[in-house]
Amino acid sequence: MIKVGRRCHIEGVTPEQVFATLSDPALISQILPRVQKTELLNRDDVARRARLVTYMSMGGLFGTIRCEGDLTWQDNREIVFTVRTPLPVETRWVLSQAVNGTDLQVIMGIDLAPLLGMMASFVPEKTVADMLGADLETALRGVARQARQTLTARAAA
């Protein structure tokens, strides 16, 4: 299992505004660099669970991969997306109130063995971790940008 985490502070935006951005399936493909499309299969607001499909651009050999998984959340505090196939991936977004804004942490864990089999042992973990880290940094910037745009649009309305 390869785990990577990143964090940022989003100035002037509340955890509620960040949560609204992260929980909008229509925005996910604008925020996450490899996600091309999302489909919400079902959603249970009482249980705070949903089934979600993402189509991830993996480039080269793998092309676009369909990932179906479970989405769980705690309002304004945490969102977790757990994928089991074609490979186990867990992405956890943790939001916390901070002075003048929101602290946002994202942690991603990925297990390449189910997809690559024995070949997974030949994949340099640092290379994968660096790639995931860059994607997470891009995602954090996208969340911050989108949350600020939403805030600005609401203020103008």
Domain definitions of the chain by residue range = 2-156
In this structure, whether the domain defined by 2-156 belongs to CATH 3.30.530.20 is answered with: yes
Q: What DSSP element (H or E) covers 28? A: helix 25-31
Q: Given this model, what pLDDT does residue 93 score?
A: 97
The whole-angstrom separation of Cα 99 and Cα 153 is 23
Q: How far apart are CA 97 and CA 37, in angstroms?
A: 30
Best-predicted range by mean pLDDT (55-59, 63-67, 77-81): 77-81
Q: How confident is the model at residue 1 (pLDDT cuts 50, 70, 90)?
A: confident
Q: What number of helices (H) and strands (E) belong to the chain?
A: 4, 7
Q: Which tens digits make up the pLDDT trace of 95-127?
A: 999 999 999 999 999 888 877 778 778 777 898
φ, ψ dihedrals at 23, nearest 5°: -95, 5
pTM for the complete prediction?
A: 0.88
